[in-house]
Amino acid sequence: MSEKGIISDIKRYAINDGPGIRTTVFFKGCPLNCWWCHNPENRHCGVEHLEVEDREKGTGTKMEIVGREISSDEVISLIKKDRVYYDESGGGVTFSGGEPTLQMRFLLDLLKRCRELNIHTVVDTSGYTTMGNLNRMKDLVDLYLFDFKVMDIEKHKLYTGLSNTRIKENLEYLLGIGNNVELRLPLIPGITDTNENITEILEYLSTLSGISDICILPYNILHRDKLKRFLLENKLGNLAVQEKSVITDLQDRFLSKGYNVRIGG
Amino acid sequence: MNDRISQLRQQSLNAIPSVSLERAELLTEFYKSGEADKVSVPVARARAFHYLLSRKTICINTGELIVGERGPEPKATPTYPEICTHSQKDFKILNDREKIPFRIDKKTASIQNKTINPFWQGRSIRDRILNSVGEDWLKAYEAGVFTEFMEQRAPGHTVLDDKIYRKGIHDFQKEIENQIDQLDYYNDPDATNKHDELRAISITGDALIVFAERHAEMLESLARAEKNGNRKKELVKMARICRKVPANKPDTFWEALQYYWFVHLGVITELNTWDSFNPGRLDQHLLTFYRNDLKSGVLTEVDARELLQAFWIKFNNQPAPPKVGITAKESNTYTDFCLINVGGVNESGQDAVNELSFIILDIIEEMRLLQPSSMVQISRRNPDNFLHRALKIIRTGYGQPSVFNSDAIIQELVRQGKSLQDARNGGASGCVEAGAFGKESYVLTGYFNIPKILEITMYNGIDPESGNLIGIQSGDVGSFKTFGDFLAAFHSQLKYFIDIKIKGNRIIEKLWSELLPSPFMSLLIDDCIINGKDYNAGGARYNSSYIQGVGLGSVTDSLTSIKYNVYDKQHVSMKDLLKALKTNFEKSGDLRKLLKDGTPKYGNDDDYADDILQDVFEMYFQTIDGRPNTKGGAYRVNLLPTTCHVYFGSVIGALPDGRYAGVPLSEGISPVQGADRNGPTAVMNSAAKIDHLRTGGTLLNQKFTPQVLAREEGIIKLGQLIRSYFKMDGHHIQFNVVTAETLKKAQKNPENYRDLIVRVAGYSDYFVDLTDDLQSEIIKRTEQLL
């Protein structure tokens, strides 16, 4: 039987969401509320009617439907369209969001079907989920892209709305049951890219085994535009993007500890 | 590049294209003398060629290593009055127009008026053609249903193989003598014609040797006067080269390049062939010379690079000849489409990429000239590092090299009846046209405006621009009960106009073979000598005639829209749709929005639209492919527009896909501008639903912002994208890495740029959906990246 879920978009020729050429399915709904979120329209579960800037007219606002209900049959048939590209590039499908594990039945159905089709799967997660969910996905996910933001609990709460305790437990659990995990660190100027935060992350990582790949994501300003379009508050203000040297210095810090570091985006 | 090359390059860039009447005057002199009347047509043409090359100004530019110009100086461009004459009005347009002008001084205009036009008007092949093709042809031509390539440029379109690197002109002349000796005047009714043709070919060989020797003489006198010892030595060496080639076969890299260049000038002086001749598989032809020279120490890698750079500049000094009338409108470029092929496979099907392939890519990147054009042939056998090297040049936004699928080209050529070896030695030329290099005449006969056929169908055979009945009366579209009825009417109009085109082509091909044979080209292309038959008369081993379909995306979307909105969903009646088209959607904004935004479109991997694409392709293919031409070969199809989609768009009113009257059509097999919204894999999947292997070439353009190609990873993934398209038999793809300028246009005029995607980590969006501020920010960053 085909499950149903709510997604905001499906993007083809996704080249920054895991290995090779991929199709990325954006699930709707996320427990976190990060200030720098690139997909703020994906926070809430369910199809929404949102007031947005009317860019065609150039002034005023209009109503826009965000999200759509879709069956896993339909998602799979779309995914299958680009098989030739996955085969050529070692790519596949990425389930992203939002937080895809919030729609677990739908996600599990999709993962199982991809397994049957022998399509490589990536789950891009905030880490804020249950161990039960992680268990149910065991053997169905080829790679987790695991977001990791701030070590300090209070700051984590401030910038994302929730504590990072569960996220850390889940990361440890995932590694413990032998999953492939790439850690993704969004570098937000003055928040996550501080000397203090990076030092703490490195210390924490030294206590874990099984992490070898880290992807650092330099700050970019595109989230501002979306916040504006969806008439949402920009709590971050107008931050400037990091200098190249800042990024390479950070990269070096991880490299010197023996991690494979990729600059994403 | 060193100072010498940098100066020559700058000279080429600075040279202002002008019209030179030297060739026209010499030719007129020759024909007025009465010499031409005493001999057969091919011999007269050969003597005219000899007359030109014995008398034209010899130009050797300061510091040059490869010598010879078509005109008296760089970018001085000859006219070909035996083909078409320029009126004073044509000259004025050419001189005054803002884009692609040719400088024409008063003296030139006066000579044209007094000497050239009085002799050639009425005699030129263009006048003969326009007097012969008939009323129905002229009506369709004037309405913009098709263009005609051979009314002002010669049916060239061929590329050289490796023969000149193995044989000197003397060797060719020995073969000619052998053929003449074997002629059977008693039993072969064609023997006398063959004799005349073979003699003519031999005379053109003499002409080229004379031309080279005149360069040698000038080089010798320059050497005597030269103070600088190094340059003096160079000039002496160059004079020796010009005494040796083309008369004899080349033995060194330098000789090979100079030999080719004389041959090139010969071809473009004899006639103004379309889609100019070029050396083709340069990295293959020169490899043995390169390796031998390095081994023997006569050449270093640095020398080879300098010679190639000098060679490149020579191409840039020869703009495409100035056109007249409609052709000037539809083909507006200085480029003469010399497409150098790099990579691919060799005759036995093995990976042919070598050290010279990489050196040539460096030259392409460093020279960054309009001419010659360049492409890489990518076979599944070719290594990724070669593809990646090419992509890194593309990333700089230069638009070259374009990328071709060798394995598809070979299958296309074999399907058309070429031997596997000839196919593997071939490639693509012009824009994207597959050919058996050195052995095929593959003439493009004209662009065909497929969406115009749809418009004529909508109006029951009437061209709404003029109100004239130019088609057949295929029925009142309002009375059609099903989409099938509509499609059948479209099909019958298509057949009608293709028949007119082919009938016209037969008349035109015959005129060319009788009036303007090309004996020098016949020296170069197999098997003209063996057959004793001219290139323009079917002497080549393979003879193909193409009709190039234009506007596939536009016609697919328009037919899809009719099926979807009129028949399937019944959103609008045919009558109301016609009314909206007639008024250019003046009061039908909502309908237009539905047609543009609420209707399936080609390029989105949506079978609803793509099925219609396949229908249109089949109709076009079945109507043309395999029909015999006058040269013993057959008609074939390809799908490419050059810049004709702009002209063709200008003669069509509003279309059912929501396109406004007069705006450009879709180009090549690319989707309608801005219609594809699902990214490049969807575009390629849609495009791959065309059976490329039954064409002789298709053209797919893709736009990317430079951010997509950033870093090694972007290049690797683009390479994988291309390999995937080629796995599905895609013929060609070309990348426009969009410049800040394009983005600025998109900011102003979003409708045509809706497909432009901006990608960064975890996020991608359509450029036109971003706010002005952010768009400006991205423009700024793009300027920094390029």
Query: So what's the ipTM on this one?
Result: 0.91
Say what the pLDDT of residue A220 is: 82
Determine, for residues A88 and B682 on separate chains, whether the beta-carbon distance falls below 8 Å: no
pLDDT at B300: 98
Q: What percent of chain B has pLDDT over 70?
A: 97
Phi, psi of B321 (to 5 degrees): -60, 145
Q: Where does the pLDDT of residue B786 fall: very low under 50, low under 70, confident under 90, or very high at 90 and above?
A: very low
Q: Which residues of A touch B678 (CB under 8 A)?
A: 12
The full DSSP string for B80-140 is: -TTT----HHHHHHHHH-SSS--B--HHHHHHIIIIIHHHHTTTSHHHHHHHHS-HHHHHH
pLDDT at B659 over 70: yes
pLDDT at B710 over 80: no
Residue B332: its pLDDT value, please?
67
The reported pLDDT for the residue numbered B396 is: 82
Strands A181-187 and A92-96: unpaired
A62 touches chain B (CB under 8 A): no
- Is residue B762's pLDDT more than 60? no
Torsion (CA) B451, B84, B534, B165 in degrees, nearest 10: -90
Give pLDDT, residue A225: 80
Rounded to whole angstroms, how far apart are CA atoms B443 and B634?
Answer: 11
Residue B30 has pLDDT above 50, yes or no: yes
Structure confidence at residue A222 as a pLDDT band (50, 70, 90): confident
Q: How far is B697 from chain A (nearest CA, A)?
A: 22
pLDDT of B29 above 50: yes
B501 vs B94, residue with greater confidence? B501
Average pLDDT over residues B731-743: 85
Q: Mean of the pLDDT values across residues B759-772?
A: 64
User: Distance, in angstroms, between A36 CA and closest chain B CA?
Assistant: 12
Q: Which residues of B are catalytic?
A: 431, 433
In this prediction, residue A240 carries a pLDDT of 85
For the residues B318-341, what does the mean pLDDT come to? Answer: 81
Instruction: Calculate the average pLDDT of chain A.
Output: 93
User: Judged by CB atoms within 8 Å, which residues 90-119 of A form the interface with B?
Assistant: 91, 96
Q: Which residues in chain A are closer than 8 Å to B727, comparing Cβ atoms?
A: 84, 88
- The mean pLDDT value for B217-239 works out to 98
- Do residue A264 and residue B759 have CB atoms under 8 angstroms apart? no
DSSP B515: H
The verdict on a CB contact (< 8 Å) between A13 and B680 is: yes
Determine contact: A17 vs chain B, CB below 8 A.
yes
CB contact under 8 A, A221 and B721: no
Q: Do A84 and B727 touch (CB under 8 A)?
A: yes
Residue B760: list chain A partners with CB under 8 A. Answer: 16, 220, 222, 265
Interface of B with A in 706-725 (CB under 8 A): 708, 711, 713-714, 717, 720-721, 723-724
Q: Is the pTM above the cut of 0.90?
A: yes
pLDDT at site A223:
80
Calculate how close chain A gets to B720, using CA atoms only, in Å.
Answer: 6
- Cα of first residue to Cα of last residue in chain A, in angstroms, is 37
Does the pLDDT value for residue B329 go beyond 70? no
Q: Which helix (H) or strand (E) holds B403?
A: strand B402-405
Q: Do the Cβ atoms of B679 and A55 come within 8 Å?
A: no
Name the residue among A38, A53, A87 with its Cβ closest to that of B762. A38
Average pLDDT over residues B22-27: 98
**Given CB atoms, is B769 within the 8 Å cutoff of chain A?**
yes
Q: Using CA atoms, how far apart are residues B658 and B3, in angstroms rounded to an integer?
A: 54
From A12, A16, A88, residue closest to B679, measured CB to CB: A12
pLDDT of residue B761: 43
Average pLDDT, chain B: 94
- pLDDT tens track for B418-459: 999 999 999 999 889 999 999 999 999 999 999 999 999 999
A146 chain-B contacts, CB cut-off 8 A = none
pLDDT score of B345? 98
What value does the mean pLDDT take over residues B270-291?
93
Predicted confidence at residue B191, as pLDDT, reads 97
Quote the pLDDT of residue A230.
87
| Contact: A13, B720; criterion CB under 8 Å | no
Whether residue B762 and residue A82 make contact (CB cut-off 8 A), yes or no, is no
Q: How far is CA B145 from CA A86, B102, B120, B238, B667, in A?
A: 42, 28, 29, 51, 16
Q: Work out the minimum CA distance from A20 to partner chain B, whole angstroms.
A: 7
Q: Read off the pLDDT band of B604 (50, 70, 90).
A: very high
CA atoms within 13 A on the CB side of B307: 22
> Is the confidence at residue B771, as pLDDT, over 80?
no
> Can you give the pLDDT at residue A244?
87
Cβ atoms of A119 and A93 closer than 8 Å: yes
B764 touches chain A (CB under 8 A): yes
Find the closest chain B residue to A39 by CA distance: B763
Q: Is the Cβ pair B681, A82 closer than 8 Å?
A: yes
SS3 per-residue string spanning chain A: CCCEEEEEEEEEEECCCCCCCEEEEEECCCCCCCCCCCCHHHCCCCCEEEEEECCCCCCCEEEEEECEEEEHHHHHHHHHCCHHHHHHHCCEEEEECCCHHHHHHHHHHHHHHHHHHCCEEEEEECCCCCHHHHHHCCCCCCEEEEECCCCCHHHHHHHHCCCCHHHHHHHHHHHHCCCCEEEEEEECCCCCCCHHHHHHHHHHHHCCCCCCEEEEEECCCHHHHHHHHCCCCCCCCCCCCCCHHHHHHHHHHHHHCCCEEEECC
Ramachandran angles phi, psi of B188, nearest 5°: -100, 110
For position B194, what pLDDT does the model report?
A: 98
Closest residue of chain B to A222, computed from CA coordinates = B774
Of the listed ranges A110-119, B222-231, B516-525, B734-743, the one predicted with least confidence: B734-743
Q: CB contact, 8 Å: A265 with chain B?
A: yes
pLDDT above 70: residue B330 = no
Share of chain B above pLDDT 90, in %: 83
Say whether pLDDT at A3 is over 50.
Answer: yes
Put simply, the chain B residues between 551 and 610 with a CB less than 8 A from any chain A CB are 605
Give phi and psi for B493, each to the nearest 5: -65, -40
At B230-256, the pLDDT tens digits run 999 999 999 999 999 999 999 999 999
Phi, psi of B643, rounded to the nearest 5 degrees: -115, 15
Q: Tell me the mean pLDDT in the region B175-182.
A: 98
Amino acid letter at A74? E
- At B764 the pLDDT is 59
For B739, the 3-state DSSP assignment is: coil
- Chain B CB contacts of A96 under 8 Å are 762
Chain A's closest residue to B684, CA to CA, is A82
What part of B 647-686 touches A (C-beta under 8 Å)?
A: 678-682, 685
pLDDT at B757 over 90: no
